[in-house]
Amino acid sequence: MWKYLFRRLGASVALLLVVATILFFSIHLLPGDPVLLILGGDAAQPTPEQIAMIRAKLGLDKPLWLQYLSWLQRVSQGDLGRSLVDDRPVARDLANRLPRTLQLVIPATLLSTAVGVSLGMFAARRRGRLADPIASSTALMGFSMPVFVVGMLLVALFSITLGWLPPTGYVPFGEDPAGFLRHLILPALALSAAPTAITMRMTRSSFLEQSALDYVRTARAKGLPEPAVAWRHVLRNALLPVVTVVGLQIGGMFAGAVLVEYIFSWPGLNTLLLNSISTRDYPIIQGVVLLAAVLFVFVNLATDLCYALVNPRIRYE
């Protein structure tokens, strides 16, 4: 198990290095000059001396490979640079925005997992009855609808028509817990719609596959009650592929949160990314993308390690 853990950690570090390298050189291929942005934008008319001074300050007068090594060294020390727009540390902006995105992604993940597994198990245990095609059709509808469509439908129903929930905005939890929860419900529902459908379909398929195996028939032949067979034997093994799907969906939720944060005016990490793209604030873009890569790699590593917790028979050598 420890050998596997260290091997996966090494592979994760190597993957992050590749992502950081591609990110650095991709940013330098983008149009626009960050020096002109600092000096007032494309409409400014800076002198050559001003341009040379800013380039020397930022290290842009050095060869590209030296810029890369210097940037990599700073990143390894937690220094992501400063914003080109307001000169604030990038790490501070990320630290302020990341918790807000996690406040959206974590509840959506828990909701999609709980509802998806429950509906999948419910549909599998009622295969051939009316409840099974209804649940499957509902899941297919949720999977087929884009997240922005789900978000607008939720706003139209619960905010405009019924007036139960606020359509947009964000309230810090420390200031008003009830207001925070009221603003969280709609974006969390919109973000969890497609993952819930995928989890439901995977749980149903895996549950039916496990139910047809010999050990389940043996458990039933011994006289175990059906709830005990379903919960203690079938579900535990059926969750193995579900764990993988949920882990991959967490990374997908960070991507889907871009539209959700935009629709519901949720001031998270993805909103910061969109604003930085519009202002060509390259250090912010680099920081957000690099942080997203770190989170995605960490989630995949945690997903692999969860296998041993779900099924103790699995051991990595």
What's the CA gap between 292 and 300, in Å, rounded? 12
Going from the C-alpha of 101 to that of each of 62, 258, 280, 281, 317, the distances in angstroms are 36, 10, 22, 20, 36
Quote the Cα angle for 226-132-223, to 5°.
10
pLDDT value at position 292? 87
pLDDT digits (tens, 9 = 90+) for 23-35: 888 887 776 667 7
Residue 89 dihedral angles phi and psi, to the nearest 5°? -60, 135
Q: Are 172 and 180 in contact (CB under 8 A)?
A: yes
Identify which has the larger pLDDT, 29 or 177: 177
210-214: long-range contacts at Cβ-Cβ below 8 A with a sequence spacing of 24 or more? 210/234, 210/237, 210/238, 211/124
Q: Do the beta carbons of residue 124 and residue 203 sit within 8 Å?
A: yes
Quote the pLDDT of residue 78.
83
Q: Band of the pLDDT at 313, cuts 50, 70, 90?
A: low
- Class of the CATH domain delimited by 93-310: mainly alpha
Q: Please report the pLDDT score of residue 103 as a whole number.
A: 92
CA distance 155 to 227: 39
The whole-chain average pLDDT of the chain stands at 83
What pTM was computed for the model? 0.82
Q: Please report, rounded to a whole number, the percentage of residues in the chain having pLDDT higher than 90.
A: 17
Residue 2 tokens, joined? 């420890």
The pLDDT of residue 40 is above 70: no
The residue with greater pLDDT, 309 or 255, is 255
State residue 102's pLDDT score: 92
What does the pLDDT look like over 207-261, one tens digit per residue?
888 888 888 888 888 777 877 788 777 877 888 888 888 888 887 788 778 889 8
Q: Who wins on pLDDT, 108 or 251?
A: 108
Domain chopping of the chain, boundaries: 31-79, 93-310
State the greatest distance between any 2 C-alpha atoms of the chain, in Å, as a whole number.
Answer: 88
Q: Is pLDDT above 90 for 188?
A: yes
